Amino acid sequence: MLVEFCVENFRSIRSSITLSMVANASKELRASHTFDPKVSGVEALVRSAVVYGPNAAGKTNLLIALQFVQNLVVNSATWQQGNELPYAPFKFSPTSRNKPSRFQVTFIQDKVLYEYGVSADATRVYEEWLVAYPVGRPQRLFERRYEKRAYQWKFSTHLKGNRKVWKDATRPNALFLSTAVQLNNTQLIPVYEWFQKRLVVIAGNTKFNPALTVTLLDRRDGKEILLPFLHAADLGIADVDVLREPLVPGLAINGSRMLVAEPGKSPVLVRVTMLHQLGQKEESVVGLDFSEESSGTQALFLSAGAWLNVLDKAEVLLFDEIDTSLHPLITRFLVGMFNSKERNKLNAQLLFTTHDTSLLEDDFLRRDQVWFVEKNRDGQSELTPLTDFSPRKSEAIARGYLRGRYGALPIVREFVS
C-alpha cells in the first residue's frame, strides 16, 4: 500500500512535492473509496488518486520518479562499478543542475509501515535510509550519507546480520538495500519486494504485458474471470478464442497475429478472435478477428489480465494517461473497480493521470483523491491537491476546473498563419 511519495529535483520537478494517499476526515464516499490499512499510526487511505494538468506540466514525471526508485531498488545491485545512474535533474536552474535528485516513499508491506529514502546523481548514491514502524514506533534500520569524500554509516541494533559485509559490498552506484538483499539479508526482503512485486508503473515506454491476458485464458477458470470483466465494460463480447502458432522465420506479424512472450516460455504468435452475440439466439454469434476490433476494445483486452492481476495481488498501479483509446465510460469503469469494496477486496491502489474531466462529475471521486500539476514561470512542476481550494460541497468540480478555478490548464493562444 502506498501512503506517500516525495520527490525533489527530478526532471521538471525542482522543489520538493508530495503526493499523499492518506484520506482526510471527510465522510463523502468514505465506505467505498477509502480503507483502513490496520496499521498503527496510519489513518485511512484512498483506493485511488488522479492527477490533472496540461501537456508537459509534469504529470508523467511524477509517476516516472517513483519508477526511477523502483529501478534502483530492483536493479542497482547488479550494475557494474562505474555504470551511470539514469539521473535526470531539473536543468533550468544552474543550482539544481548538478544537485542529486531526492526521493522518499512511505508504504505498508506485511502490515508494517516503512519510510525509505534515497538521493543520487549520475555517479553515486549520496543518501539512503530506511525507517520501519513495526509497533508504531520508528526504528531507523540504517542510514548512509556521503560526506567529505567518504560514506558515513549508521545501523540500528534492530537490523540483524552481517552488516559490515553488506556495507563493504555496496558500491557507490548501488543501493545498500538491494545489495544486502542480494547477499541473503532476509529482514529487508519485504521492503525490496514491495518495489519489485507490489509496484506496477505504466508510464513512458512501459506498456501492459498482453501475456498476462493470454496466460489468464490458460486457466480453467480463466474465461469465468475475463469475460465478466469484458461484459462489465459493455463491449458486447460473448466469448474469446485464442490460437497459438509457432514462431516461423519469415512469417509476417500483422494485426491478426500478436507476438507474446510468456514467462519461462519461448515467444509465440497468438491469434485472437472475439465472438459477438447477435440478439438472443445462441447460434447468432459472429467472430471478429482481433485486428477488426476497435482500438478501445483491443486496448482493454490486452490490458485485462494486468488489471485483474493488480486487483488479485493487491498491487499499487501507477498509470499514465489512463484514458488513451478508451471511452470515458470505460475509464470510469476501470477506476470504479478500485473504488469498490466488492471488486477491490484486497485494497489495491490506483494512481493515474488523465485529461478526462468527466471523472470529476457526479461525485465519482472524493475531493482528497484529486490533484493538479502545473508549471510556474520558472518551468517547475507544482503539485496541488483539490482540497487546498476548499471547494464547496455542491461545487461543480469539472466545470470549475475547465474555467481555471484550480489552475493546471493549458494556455491556448490564437493561431495566425
Domain end (from 276, 294, 314): 314
What is the pLDDT at residue 214? 83
The neighbouring-strand residues paired with 145 are 127, 152
Backbone angles phi, psi at 100, to 5 degrees: -65, 150
CATH number of the CATH domain containing 350: 3.40.50.300
| Residues 272 and 415 placed together within one structural domain of the fold | no
What is the pLDDT at residue 416? 52
Q: Measured between alpha carbons, how far is 316 from 195 in angstroms, rounded to an integer?
A: 10
Strand locations in 156-297, DSSP E? 199-202, 237-245, 258-260, 268-277, 285-289
Domain end (from 253, 279, 314): 314
Count of the separate structural domains present in the chain: 2
| Residues 308 and 340 placed together within one structural domain of the fold | no
CA dihedral (205, 314, 230, 244) positive or negative: positive
Identity of the amino acid at 309: N
What is the pLDDT at residue 243? 85
| Residues 186 and 333 placed together within one structural domain of the fold | yes
| Residues 260 and 345 placed together within one structural domain of the fold | no
Domain end (from 314, 332, 359): 314
Residues 405-416 pLDDT 10s:
888 776 555 545
What is the pLDDT at residue 251? 60
Q: What are the residues whose beta carbons fall under 8 Å from the beta carbon of 43, sequence distance 6 or more?
A: 22, 23
| Residues 77 and 109 placed together within one structural domain of the fold | yes
| Residues 108 and 188 placed together within one structural domain of the fold | yes
Give residue 224's Cα distance to chain centre: 27
Strands 2-8 and 17-20, by their bridges, are antiparallel
| Residues 60 and 180 placed together within one structural domain of the fold | yes
Can you list the residues of the chain whose pLDDT is less than 50? 415
| Residues 364 and 304 placed together within one structural domain of the fold | no
| Residues 345 and 379 placed together within one structural domain of the fold | yes
| Residues 380 and 273 placed together within one structural domain of the fold | no
Domain that holds residue 375: 1-204+320-417
Is there a contact between 59 and 19 (Cβ–Cβ < 8 Å)?
no
What is the pLDDT at residue 254? 62
Half-sphere exposure of 227 (CA within 13 A, CB side): 16
| Residues 310 and 340 placed together within one structural domain of the fold | no
Q: Measured between alpha carbons, how far is 242 from 176 in angstroms, rounded to an integer?
A: 45
The residue whose grid cell reads 471478429 is: 288
Backbone angles phi, psi at 205, to 5 degrees: -90, 0
| Residues 242 and 301 placed together within one structural domain of the fold | yes
